[in-house]
């Protein structure tokens, strides 16, 4: 009579599916690539711990969930809370979220909504901060609120050139600092904020150091590992993260003298952010003998690229300077003009000696889709080959996508031969 078949609850099913997605990607990361770093083990383990074993990272701290990279983590750290960026890459959650947004919506947004709807977090956020960046993200804040979460909307301008936009955003950040400190019942202190700015600055510094190594003939770290590493910054304890990256950096430096000549095609990845475990496109690129030497995405480069500079180390100047970092240098396609993004891509191609660009837009992400033409045109003018792909979180078009990427990489190799 105990032989009765157990029926899986939706929660168990979700966990099982997510674990499966996770394992599939982690296995590939561990086994499929020639470039290997032992120090990356920390990050593989971390993903396993968080997504499969469901072990919480923060037991005591107050967790502030963020829906976009524009929420200033410096201020959150200064208030003794921790930021957890909840941009989600699970197909399982995407399917749950589909019920709440149109099926044509961005999979990242849907997946994030899905996770909130299931309430199945490893580290459940106490407050959710939603910057009004793109349309879908702005609206998702309200949907998430309807599930019973406390959502704080943070107003974000859609232009960044004007002084008005800068002031508007600065006010937004000042108010955020004030409101959050009221909610947490903690006063924002000068010393604490300074320390937080330095801490995040050091994380950025390490990222840049690592990026510098990718300029070498034999990049000691592949793009997928890099995406995983930057992804971990979303949720990992910042001190542990920096320690782990220091180790990766150290090991990567020793791999530089390694004489194995690889002929992988150097690629810059741009567009919709690959967020673990959705490393679909980067994975295809690197399995097709390409190597991602740089990227222009909000899950990696954009999160670390621009650093805070402070003139007068007092709260008034620090908070404003922190605000500037999240607006002025941002290359997000939601802004009216995109010349900065184009310039960033060209700069990355040149400095990392890339041979081509892969531009992915999530099906449903209007801004990346709409910006596609202008980027393609600019790259054509520069003579840089570029492949534009549209895809989502589903594994269904894998064959077709692989064929296109392989053909693109092959054509870049041909181009290389012709040049020689």
Partner 1 sequence: MNKIKKLINYMDLRKVRFWIQIFFFILFVYGTYLFVDLGRNLPIFSCGYNRASGGNCYFLALQHQLARPWWRLFSYASVGVLTGFLTFLAWFVIFNKAWCGYACPIGTLQDWITSFRKMLKIPYSTYTVEQYRFLKKMKYVFLFIVIIFPLMLGLGLLDGEWRGAFCKMCPGRLITPLFSGDFSQWTIDFSNATAIFLTSFGIGFTVLFFIGSFVKKRFFCFYCPMSAMHYIFSDWALLKLKKDGDKCTKCGDCYNVCDMQIKDIADDVKSKNILRDDCIFCMKCVAACPEDDALHVDILNMKIFSSTKGGFSKRMEIIKDDK
Question: What is the nearest approach in angstroms of partner 1 to the Cβ of residue 307?
Answer: 5
Question: What is the nearest approach in angstroms of partner 1 to the Cβ of residue 328?
Answer: 4
Q: Is 310 in the site for partner 1 (CB under 8 A)?
A: yes
Q: Is 316 in the site for partner 1 (CB under 8 A)?
A: yes
Nearer to partner 1, 158 or 416 (CB): 158
Where b means 16+ CB within 10 Å and e means fewer, 370-396 reads: ebbeebeebbeeeebbbbbbbbbbeee
Nearer to partner 1, 249 or 281 (CB): 249
Per-residue contact string for residues 196-225; x = within reach of partner 1 by CB under 8 A: -xx--xx--x--x-----------------
User: Would you list the DSSP string of 111-125?
Assistant: HHHHHHHHT--SS--
Contact of 307 with 321, CB cutoff 8 Å: no
Question: What is the nearest approach in angstroms of partner 1 to the Cβ of residue 308?
Answer: 8
Nearer to partner 1, 310 or 384 (CB): 310
Question: What is the nearest approach in angstroms of partner 1 to the Cβ of residue 356?
Answer: 19
Contact of 44 with 248, CB cutoff 8 Å: no
HSE value, Cβ hemisphere, 13 Å, CA-based, for 217? 8
Both structure tokens of 386: 């570029």
Question: What is the nearest approach in angstroms of partner 1 to the Cβ of residue 321?
Answer: 6
For residue 11, count other CB atoms closer than 10 A to its CB: 11
Contact of 248 with 40, CB cutoff 8 Å: yes
Question: What is the nearest approach in angstroms of partner 1 to the Cβ of residue 352?
Answer: 13
Pick from 48, 135, 324, 382: which binds partner 1 (CB under 8 A)? 324
Pick from 21, 320, 369, 371: which binds partner 1 (CB under 8 A)? 320
Q: Binders of partner 1 among 152-191, rule CB under 8 A?
A: 161, 163, 166
Q: Binders of partner 1 among 350-389, rule CB under 8 A?
A: 350
Both structure tokens of 273: 């952010």
Nearer to partner 1, 270 or 321 (CB): 321
Query: What is the C-alpha to C-alpha distance for residues 125 and 64, in angstroms, rounded to an integer?
Result: 5
Kindly determine how many residues on this chain lie close enough to bind partner 1 according to the rule CB under 8 A.
33
Query: What's the gap between Cα 44 and its chain centre?
Result: 16
Backbone angles phi, psi at 201, to 5 degrees: -60, -40
Contact of 132 with 157, CB cutoff 8 Å: no
Pick from 48, 184, 329, 384: which binds partner 1 (CB under 8 A)? 329
Q: Is 305 in the site for partner 1 (CB under 8 A)?
A: yes
Where b means 16+ CB within 10 Å and e means fewer, 302-316 reads: bbbbbebebeeeebe
Query: What is the C-alpha to C-alpha distance for residues 194 and 78, in angstroms, rounded to an integer?
Result: 8
Pick from 347, 377, 380, 410: which binds partner 1 (CB under 8 A)? 347
Query: Which parts of this chain interact with partner 1 (CB under 8 A)?
Result: 161, 163, 166, 197-198, 201-202, 205, 208, 305-312, 314, 316-317, 320-321, 324-325, 328-329, 331, 340, 343-344, 346-347, 350
């Amino acid at each position: 009579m105990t032989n009765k078949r157990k029926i899986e609850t939706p929660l168990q099913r979700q966990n099982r599916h997510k674990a499966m997605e996770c394992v599939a990607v982690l296995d590939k990361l561990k086994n499929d690539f020639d470039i290997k770093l032992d120090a990356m083990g920390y990050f593989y383990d971390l993903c396993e711990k968080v997504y499969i074993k469901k072990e919480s990272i923060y037991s005591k701290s107050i967790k502030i969930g963020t829906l976009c990279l524009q929420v200033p983590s410096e201020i959150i750290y200064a208030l003794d809370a921790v930021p957890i960026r909840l941009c989600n890459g699970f197909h399982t959650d995407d399917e749950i979220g589909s019920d709440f947004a149109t099926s044509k919506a961005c999979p990242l947004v849907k997946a994030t909504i899905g996770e909130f709807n299931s309430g199945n977090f490893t580290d459940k956020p106490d407050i959710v901060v939603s910057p009004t960046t793109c349309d879908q993200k702005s609206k998702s804040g309200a949907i998430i609120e309807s599930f019973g979460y406390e959502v704080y909307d943070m107003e974000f301008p859609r232009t960044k050139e004007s002084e008005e936009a800068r002031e508007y955003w600065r006010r937004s950040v000042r108010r955020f600092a004030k409101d959050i400190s009221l909610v947490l019942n903690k006063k924002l202190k000068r010393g604490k904020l300074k320390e937080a700015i330095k801490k995040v600055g050091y994380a950025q510094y390490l990222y840049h150091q690592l990026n510098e190594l990718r300029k070498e003939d034999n990049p000691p770290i592949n793009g997928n590992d890099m995406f995983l590493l930057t992804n971990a910054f979303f949720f990992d304890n910042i001190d542990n993260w920096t320690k782990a990256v220091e180790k990766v950096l150290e090991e990567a430096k020793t791999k530089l003298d390694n004489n194995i000549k690889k002929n992988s095609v150097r690629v810059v990845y741009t567009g919709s952010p690959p967020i673990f475990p959705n490393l679909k496109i980067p994975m295809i690129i690197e399995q097709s003998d390409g190597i991602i030497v740089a990227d222009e995405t909000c899950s990696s480069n954009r999160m670390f690229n621009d650093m805070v500079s402070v003139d007068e180390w007092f709260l008034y100047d620090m908070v404003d300077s922190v605000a500037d970092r999240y607006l002025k240098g941002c290359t997000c396609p939601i802004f009216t003009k995109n010349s900065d993004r184009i310039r960033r891509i060209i700069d990355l191609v040149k400095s990392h000696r890339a041979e081509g660009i892969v531009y992915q837009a999530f099906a449903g992400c209007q801004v990346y889709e709409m910006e596609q033409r202008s980027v393609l045109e600019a790259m054509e003018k520069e003579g840089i080959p570029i492949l534009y792909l549209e895809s989502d979180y589903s594994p269904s078009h894998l064959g077709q996508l692989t064929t296109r990427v392989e053909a693109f990489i092959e054509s870049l190799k041909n181009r290389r031969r012709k040049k020689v």
